[in-house]
Amino acid sequence: MSDKTKPIVVIGAGITGCVVAYKLASAGKKVILIEKGNEVGGLARTFRYGDFIFDIGPHRFYIGNKEIFSFICEILKEDYRIIQRNTSVFFLGKYHAWPLNPWILFNLPISILFKSFYELLFVLPGKRRKKIKHFKDYIMKYYGPTLYNIFFRNYTQKFLNLSPEETHANWAKEAIKRTIIDERMASRNLWEILRMTFLFFPLRTEFLYPTGGIDLLCHRLAERAKESGAEIYVDSRIEKLNLSSRKIEGLIFDHKAVEPDKLIWTGNLQNLCELSNVPINGLNYLDLILYNVVVKRPINKDFQWCYYGSEDLVFSRVTLPSRFSQDLVSKGRDSLCVEVTCNESDLWWKDPESLIGRIKEDLIKVGLIETSADIDNVYIEKISNAYPIYTRDYPQHLCQVKESLSKFENLSLAGRTGLFWYNNMDDSIENGLNLAEDIILEAS
Ligand SMILES: Cc1cc2nc3c(=O)[nH]c(=O)nc-3n(C[C@H](O)[C@H](O)[C@H](O)COP(=O)(O)OP(=O)(O)OC[C@H]3O[C@@H](n4cnc5c(N)ncnc54)[C@H](O)[C@@H]3O)c2cc1C
């Protein structure tokens, strides 16, 4: 039974937590939103250094879902712009369009082109019924060994620091879905790329980008939740959960004790399990270091971001914020957001400055800057829990944890980090809206 005198406590003020808090508070519910970081936004937050503005890598809203699009517009009002997608992938020393399009095949060395077509016609049909055990099987089945070897293998190994045979096939499905996004740009396998060769017409994918940084959505949601009476705490730690066999009876944060009617957890699962004495194994998150680079002159590339798979480059993706909006850089200058994935236990995480020299060299190698004198400043940001790591046996581990936590009947897991879900912001918005609606309906 729900107790309306007690608050609904939401842990984590990323997109999911902010959407839930806003919706519940607007419906007259008592809400407490608790965030461990020093501001709201989670993975959709923004860093500002003078005139230069950086999100966490590339961040923009896909607007394919009408309901989510109108929700975002309702919150942002007029404060956004629509941009056309323009993304790239760098391999074999060249830039190619991403999602892969037919022209990429003709841009490849002739031997690779022949091998890819041979595989398409004679090797891939034979693999149709092959059971997929891991990431490598998935890519080999849909793209063939040549594309696997020249791009997918190295990129995945470098990005996750996990071999493709140790990586679950869901990583391939989700990563391709996340990076392609628009279903009409079908290039989920070599056949689809070939089909586009003959049906080729320019497809455009549009995105929405908030004025002045991606964090505008969470800031607006938090403001509105507050106006409706929600209490929001940042820089706060959950010190303790008081548990009975069936419920989370209480929690202590910042020396305050609260008895929640419901607890919605969008934070790190390991943290929740530790607080609730539930064993957790095999569910780890990948962390990310951002090198936010201020460049003295405009950069001579027009993509918004590019994926870099080669083992000899330290970064996996570079974003040009000015291609989202010129307001993110100062006039006549430019910037680059360079992403290096790692784990908190790695040397790079402990000493990220040690990589700056290598990053400068690699930016020159890929033609983004000419010399290191082009760089004015490098700001480093560490992002914990950026991606759930989908190892081969993560589904069993996740199932076990969810089952153990399900004994707490007033606890709901939500969002990317809370559900160990490789998702996008529109998924988190949808998840938050649905969860809030269920709670409102249950009480009515
Ligand atoms: C590099 C990168 C680029 C991306 N680009 C895009 C893009 O272009 N488009 C797109 O749609 N999506 C993109 N995404 C995905 C998007 O960022 C996420 O889907 C979305 O931000 C997830 O929001 P969330 O609230 O579900 O989770 P999170 O943002 O992870 O929020 C969880 C919150 O909980 C807090 N927290 C954790 N533990 C605790 C605790 N114990 N106590 C209190 N608080 C806690 C965290 O600090 C965080 O604020 C990208 C992600 C990354 C990493």
Identify whether 190 is part of a domain. yes
Indicate if the pLDDT at residue 398 is higher than 60. yes
Q: Give the strands of the sheet with 61-62, arranged side by side.
A: 61-62, 206-210, 80-84
Q: Whose CA is nearest to atom 14 of ligand 1?
A: 424
Q: Do residues 291 and 383 share a domain? A: yes
pLDDT of residue 200: 46
* Residue closest to 128 by CA, chosen among 140, 114, 136, 116: 140
Identify whether 55 is part of a domain. no
Indicate if the pLDDT at residue 93 is higher than 80. yes
What domain range includes position 160? 87-202
Per-residue confidence band for 106, with pLDDT thresholds at 50, 70 and 90: low
Per-residue confidence band for 272, with pLDDT thresholds at 50, 70 and 90: very high
Q: Do residues 188 and 119 share a domain? A: yes
Q: Do residues 188 and 96 share a domain? A: yes
Identify whether 73 is part of a domain. no
Q: 353, 371, 388 — which closes off a domain?
A: 388
Q: Is residue 164 reached through a cis peptide bond, with omega within 30 degrees of 0 on the bond before it?
A: no
Q: Do residues 229 and 122 share a domain? A: no
The minimum-distance atom of ligand 1 relative to the CA of 12 is: 34
Number of domain units in the chain: 3
pLDDT of residue 193: 59
Considering the chain, what is the average pLDDT of its residues?
Answer: 91
pLDDT of residue 183: 53
pLDDT of residue 289: 98
Centre of ligand 1 from the C-alpha of residue 43, in Å: 3
Whole-angstrom distance, CA of residue 70 vs CA of residue 433 = 13
Indicate if the pLDDT at residue 308 is higher than 50. yes
The residue to which tokens 């808090």 are assigned:
21
The per-residue pLDDT for range 147-195, each reduced to its tens digit, is: 788 888 988 999 999 999 999 999 988 887 766 545 554 555 666 655 5
Burial class (CB in 10 A: 0-12, 13-18, 19+), 111: exposed
Q: Whose CA is nearest to atom 30 of ligand 1?
A: 417
Q: 202, 237, 261 — which closes off a domain?
A: 202
Q: Do residues 126 and 197 share a domain? A: yes
Q: 202, 230, 250 — which closes off a domain?
A: 202
Q: Whose CA is nearest to atom 17 of ligand 1?
A: 43
Q: Is 266 in the pocket of ligand 1 (CB under 6 A)?
A: yes
Mean pLDDT, residues 335-349: 96
The verdict on pTM exceeding 0.85 is yes
Q: Do residues 291 and 243 share a domain? A: no
Residue 113: how many CB atoms within 10 A of its CB?
15
CATH number of the domain that residue 274 is part of: 3.50.50.60
Q: Do residues 317 and 407 share a domain? A: no
Reported as half-sphere exposure (CB side, CA atoms, 13 A), residue 49 has a value of: 14
Task: Report CA 120 to chain centroid distance, whole Å.
Answer: 31
Q: Are 433 and 71 in contact (CB under 8 A)?
A: yes
Q: Do residues 397 and 272 share a domain? A: yes
Centre of ligand 1 from the C-alpha of residue 130, in Å: 35
The per-residue pLDDT for range 55-84, each reduced to its tens digit, is: 999 999 988 899 999 999 999 999 999 999
pLDDT of residue 1: 61
